Amino acid sequence: MRLAFGVVVFLIGVHATAANAQTANRPNVVLIITDDLGYGDLGSYGAPDIRTPHIDSLARDGTRLTDFYANGSTCTPTRVGLITGRYQQRVGLEFALGAQGAKDWERGLSVTGRSLPQLLKNNGYVTALVGKWHLGWKPEFSPRAHGFDYFFGFKSGFIDFYQHTAGADGPLKADLFENDEPVTVDGYMTDLITERAVRFVEQHAGRSFFIDVAYNAPHWPYQRPDQPSTARDQGRHLSPFDEATSTRADYVAMVERIDQGVGRILATLDKRGLRQKTLVIFTNDNGGEWLSRNAPLFHHKTSVWEGGIRVPALIRWPGHIPASRVSSQVGITMDVTTTILAVTETKVPMGARLEGINLLPTLARGGQTVERTLFWRVSRGSLVQQAVRSGQWKLLFDGARPLLFNLRTDIAERENLIGRHPEVAQRLRGLLAAWQAEVDAEAKQAGSR
């Protein structure tokens, strides 16, 4: 019996050593996602009043994308696109969980064994999510169930930055977890996310890792850092439209605190000698809300106008991605999934059916731009919008009205060209109809299983 046990321990050790050796030459991945940041709220995207030197360093040392999109116009859909690598409509999670009544508290992203973190874990990577989840509250929908080795953060769409409590109508009024256990930790949520991210990098610097750093800022409540008493006086869950208590200055302070956190994470990579070996991606989950600066785009979060879905994206990987380059390659959140799996040489099962592309060949020096056709849809009560972008053209339905824009010449979507180019509108209408029929059929089939 002792001999058999020793053999088992030896084989486990050999397997672990082999897994570490297998991933030794593959990059680490640090994915940083902010929440409701405006397209124009970074210095590298033209912000006049926000200082973001650390985030902007990713543009200086890497590539800035001008035409990058979120999968959805709210939190949950985009995060589904990231975790699954597919359109969120295929699993019926088209709007933010918690926004459609009590039934939402029972829903979440089902486990398939083909999620981004699970596939990376299967490939020998240690995986972590620090920050916002928003893909289901029940244990069977938790980050750990989807393949994250470590989770520190919250499951709701937003929380109080100081009290770490969720919406009063939900089941998780106290909403802070470490792995699957509720925890109580003092501190400003942005700082807590940064601290746990830094700790994870420090602890796992000797092996290949993937960490999703999902900041909840600058999502409301607009609570500034270093002012817990003021935040309590204003109320734990401010309305996002409470102009009496929320200002652009509050928002600016929140974004600049994120930038400080990103600086700490990047400095930790440098301290551990991991800069050259780490792919760093910075992006956002949807367009900004009312305190955000979405210029030069029109509209905001929850819409499929450019201001609701086009987001900042910065990618750094020294020696692989050119520095100080600006790319007009059209991309989407699902591309982040495919790109990460490709550069980490992770085996992707056929059943995953990824819908994104690997951006690295295009972003590499001299890479050719790939023309894309991408789709969006929002359907919640009276809000019904659909859009398709194909090349430079975008067809948008805001309600029943079709609008056609040439995004190459009209990024602000001001000139409806449908009367001048009816043939383009007709082609895009057909693509959009076919896509909607396909994803709805798959969602219906999945719901029946």
Is 134 a catalytic site residue? Answer: yes
Inter-residue contact 188 to 217 (CB < 8 Å) = no
Among the options 15, 54, 75, 421, which is catalytic? 75
Is 300 a catalytic site residue? Answer: no
Among the options 54, 134, 164, 299, which is catalytic? 134
Closest alpha carbon to 156 in 165, 146, 147, 145 = 165
H or E element in which residue 5 lies: helix 2-22
In angstroms, the CA 151 to CA 135 distance is 13
What own/partner pairs with CB < 8 Å and gap ≥ 24 does 426-433 have?
Answer: 427/390, 428/388, 428/390, 428/393, 428/394, 428/395, 428/404, 429/395, 429/402, 431/373, 431/375, 431/388, 431/390, 432/375, 432/386, 432/387, 432/388, 432/395, 432/397
Adjacent-strand bridge partners of 211: 30, 128
In angstroms, the CA 428 to CA 376 distance is 13
Residue at token pair 């002792």: 2
In angstroms, the CA 197 to CA 184 distance is 18
In angstroms, the CA 422 to CA 444 distance is 33
In angstroms, the CA 130 to CA 61 distance is 25
Q: Report, as residue numbers or ranges, the catalytic residues.
A: 75, 134
